[in-house]
Amino acid sequence: MLELTSIIDIPHLLDVICSELEQKDIWNCASCSKTWHALFGPYRFKYVQFSNMDPDKASFFIEHSHHIRELHLNIENFEAFANSRCTRLRKLSLRFMYGVPYSDDETIDYGYDFDLDGFDTDEEDDVDSVDGGTPPVTKLNKPACAADLIQRNHCLQFLHIIHTCYEQVQLPDILLTELILRAIENHPSLTTIKITTSLSCLVFINILHHLPQQLQELNVRVCDLDEYRGYDRGHGFCNLEPYQFKTKEPFGLRRLFLDGSIFCIVDPILIQLLERCPQLEELGLPYLYDELRVLDTCCPRLHTLNQERYCNGVIEKEAFNILLRDFSRGFRQLILKSDTHRGLDMGFDPIILKTLVSTPTADTIEVLRISSFWGKNPYVGEVLRHCPRLREFRVWDQLGMDLSDVLLSIDETWVCSDTLEILSLGICNQKVHEQPTQEADRQKTAQDIRQLFHCLRALPKLITLDLTWHLKITWKGRLGEEYMAISLDDLNEGAVESGSTLMTEEDMKWMGLISMKNRRKHSS
């Protein structure tokens, strides 16, 4: 009888399995079983989330740490990697936990010691622990361990520093000590730094003085703190003398994203920073100001304004209009998003689109994403008629664009018809409500949808279509206003007589209508 081959005896099979798993998940060590360790430890050990580990469990991962490429590390485990062979990282996330001690004289007792060779496995220490003796206590400084880990990984490209108390504005200096900042400044390969916490302006300035020359992306949350702005509880805020950078050397940043409230750094810091970023290509800010007109001269490579994650729901309409008019080269990508009523008001989106089509950006824009909490976008058609290079156009709002306006804009020719690849719109049928009967509403809406379908199918490069329908009928019944359910028969009614191609269920699905089949309501 042949003996069955163990999966462990087939390394090639393991390699295939591991390659399929890579990039798809993070290995959370705390929840891994011993079987998983034995099976995949030597073969797939690249993406590791190292947290809440007891010493026995940790030793396995420390031993194989030279395989790790991406490491997520909590503060209580910084010391575990102090003398490890972890030197091949590409990505490193350091999480400082709120309430965890991390000063020089505050240490955590792990019950084991460290030396140059890794863990001390001296049997006497084990006996002491069993007999109730005092185990050795780690006396390593956690920020020093973090700085050492950064320095030893010469191929590190992405560094993420996190503090779990995200809303706390005045955080300890332990987050960014001089040791950590010097490790960052002298690092040979760091290209991306992300700091997910709330930093004061002074700490932010200090970070700017330690950026490595090759850094390409900086993502930081900055807060408006008393220490810089000068806060008097009786008289509010008062500006101090503008801060001057110590050096006029330009930064090599290509992507800059600032989150938080940075009112205090608009003139003294932000403008100076932008003037030192001649390579900047993508910018995201929490607020837009008139002073940003300097972008036209100081950032000649800028092509993307990305407010999707960094605007905090506040964008100044007039400042944006000024920016569009004064930016002579035009933007290639505009991403503007606001999810709450604190953000874009009812008249803001239409003003953006109306202004955009009369600026240089109309001839250069390729990607345009806009979302607002209130209102419709009656100028959506203007963009489709005046932006010849548009490849992606996404509009999110509550009410949608009127179906008749969409058809009207198509009749007047979309200049982007040869380039448009992605289209996402909300569509309503409010103007159809002027029809006297429910059946007339249905027939007119079905006819317009069929016409829209044939127009969209004719676009040669359209790959992705995402239509959100807000179709309603108005009639005086017991249930009042109802959602309109459009059937396939409704859409194909009269199609043969007019010589049009019949629509299928696949066509309905492509148009986003298939989910409406079961939404019909009846009044009793």
Total-model pTM:
0.76
For tokens 């469990």, name the residue: 57
Mean pLDDT throughout 59-86? 79
Strands (E), 135-292: 158-163, 192-199, 217-222, 231-232, 236-237, 255-260, 282-284
Amino acid at position 333, single letter: Q
The CA–CA distances, whole Å, from 411 to 255, 392, 408, 432, 452 equal 40, 20, 5, 18, 10
Mean pLDDT throughout 447-466? 92
Say how far apart CA 87 and CA 22 lie, in whole Å.
19
For residue 469, what pLDDT is reported?
84
For residue 316, what pLDDT is reported?
64
Q: Is pLDDT larger for residue 458 or for residue 410?
A: 458
Say how far apart CA 163 and CA 175 lie, in whole Å.
8
For residue 470, what pLDDT is reported?
77
Closest CA to 380 of 431, 416, 425, 320: 425
Q: Is pLDDT larger for residue 111 or for residue 260?
A: 260
For residue 331, what pLDDT is reported?
97
Question: pLDDT grade, residue 460 (50/70/90)?
Answer: very high
Judge whether 189 and 214 are in contact, CB under 8 Å.
yes
pLDDT exceeds 80 at position 293: yes
Strands (E), 408-524: 422-428, 464-470, 472-473, 482-483
Helix axes 438-457, 403-411, angle to 10 degrees: 40
pLDDT exceeds 50 at position 81: yes
Encode pLDDT of 154-166 as tens digits: 999 999 988 766 5
- Supply angle C-alpha 405, 401, 325, rounded to 5: 90
Amino acid at position 97, single letter: M
Count of all residues that appear for the chain in the document: 524
For residue 255, what pLDDT is reported?
97
The burial of 356, by beta-carbon neighbours within 10 Å (0-12 exposed, 13-18 middle, 19 or more buried), is given as: buried
For residue 153, what pLDDT is reported?
95
For residue 415, what pLDDT is reported?
94
Encode pLDDT of 321-368 as tens digits: 888 999 999 999 998 875 544 444 443 556 778 889 999 999 999 999
For residue 163, what pLDDT is reported?
79
Q: Left (φ > 0), alpha (ψ -120 to 50) or beta: where does 257 sit?
A: beta
Judge whether 159 and 192 are in contact, CB under 8 Å.
yes
Helix, coil or strand: residue 182: helix
**Arithmetic mean of pLDDT over the chain:** 72
For residue 360, what pLDDT is reported?
95
Say how far apart CA 254 and CA 270 lie, in whole Å.
15
Question: pLDDT grade, residue 74 (50/70/90)?
Answer: confident
Amino acid at position 348, single letter: F
